[in-house]
Amino acid sequence: MSGVLSELTITRSNWLEYRDPETTREVVVAGVPIGGVHPVVIAGPCAVESYEQTLSAARAVAAAGGRLLRGGAFKPRTSPYSFQGLGSEGLEILRAVSRETGLGVVTEVQDPRLVERVAETADMLQVGSRSMQNFPLLVEAGRAGRPILLKRGFSATLDEWLCAAEYLAREGCLDIVLCERGVRRSAYWNEARSELDLDVIGPARRATPLPVIGDPSHATGDWRRVEAASLEALRAGAHGLLIEVLPPSMERADLRCDPLQGVSADTLQRIMDFARDFRVPEPRGDGAIAAGADS
């Protein structure tokens, strides 16, 4: 184990109740435990674009058996000219849709100054891939009193990811779910932006008792590949999935954010059915943690 990892309080060696056997800390989000034997699917649109669009996606999620809705009100966009999300109006929409459907809300916070405001709506705060090493954000998010979904930076090492989790833990937040969302590929067009790094799921689970989920949507960037990637992530030991859904009321071409990766309601249903009957396996590999991870 690398020097950095061994010092973290979130490693198994420092959290004796989870060391032996290798149990996982259950993180409860809006009454839904993440980290148990059954995988949890968090699903919804990429961005909150309107009440109707969000409700349409949320109804598909609820109909498929989901209990947690994802959707960004504040969106991290590469170009400053792209749709940035509806902001506070998006939060209001999420609250209304949550009331209407009973789904818990998972939504991203990017700005340390907005943590409190986003936390009023979110049952779980998402810290996105680009924000994984925004340390002031991690400090504020760790103080918010909400569980946190911490996505791995798309080129972050396991050490860097866990150190980011440690920033949250130092502020008193131990209800952290790690999310592998794919690593950057050299062919940078939409459908091939990233690749799901299945090999990090086992080491992350062995290094810490925190639940680890996979995001096959951003990892593939292609709705046609999301189902296969979902099953692979679960077989690799993920405790759940974060999935983008095409709202049934919308045409793909009319979406303002990540139009190519949302799965149809039918595909979501198949993934959910698979997840419901699946038991999270022991993490893959022999227990050796990321050789050469010292940094």
Q: How many residues bind ligand PEP (CB under 6 A)?
A: 11
Site for ligand PEP in 188-207 (CB under 6 A): none
Q: Are strands 183-184 and 27-29 parallel, antiparallel or unpaired?
A: unpaired
- Judged by CB under 6 A, which of 33, 76, 87, 248 binds ligand PEP? 76
**Is the separation of the CB atoms in 74 and 111 below 8 Å?**
yes
Helix axes 88-101, 51-63, angle to 10 degrees: 40
Of the pair 18, 154, the CB lying nearest ligand PEP is at: 154
Interatomic CA distance for residues 242 and 119, integer angstroms: 19
- Judged by CB under 6 A, which of 36, 72, 90, 240 binds ligand PEP? 72
Residue of minimal CB distance from ligand PEP? 128
- Which of ligand PEP, Mn ion, none interacts with 181 (beta carbon under 5 to 8 A by kind)? ligand PEP
211 binds ligand PEP (CB under 6 A): no
Of the pair 18, 223, the CB lying nearest ligand PEP is at: 223
85 binds ligand PEP (CB under 6 A): no
Residues 6+ apart with CB under 8 A from 225: 191, 216
Which residues, listed in sequence order, are joined to residue 124 by a DSSP beta bridge?
106
Interatomic CA distance for residues 153 and 130, integer angstroms: 6
Closest CB 129 distance from Mn ion, rounded Å? 10
Burial 44-63 (b: 16+ CB within 10 A, else e): bbbbbbbbebbbbbbbbbbe
Q: Are strands 194-195 and 183-184 parallel, antiparallel or unpaired?
A: antiparallel
Of the pair 32, 246, the CB lying nearest Mn ion is at: 246
Site for ligand PEP in 119-178 (CB under 6 A): 128-130, 151
258 binds Mn ion (CB under 5 A): yes
Site string for Mn ion, 35-74 (x = CB under 5 A): -----------x----------------------------
- Which of ligand PEP, Mn ion, none interacts with 205 (beta carbon under 5 to 8 A by kind)? none
Interatomic CA distance for residues 169 and 159, integer angstroms: 15
Residues 6+ apart with CB under 8 A from 189: none
For Mn ion, the binding residues (CB under 5 A) are: 46, 258
For ligand PEP, the binding residues (CB under 6 A) are: 46, 72, 76, 108, 128-130, 151, 181, 215, 218
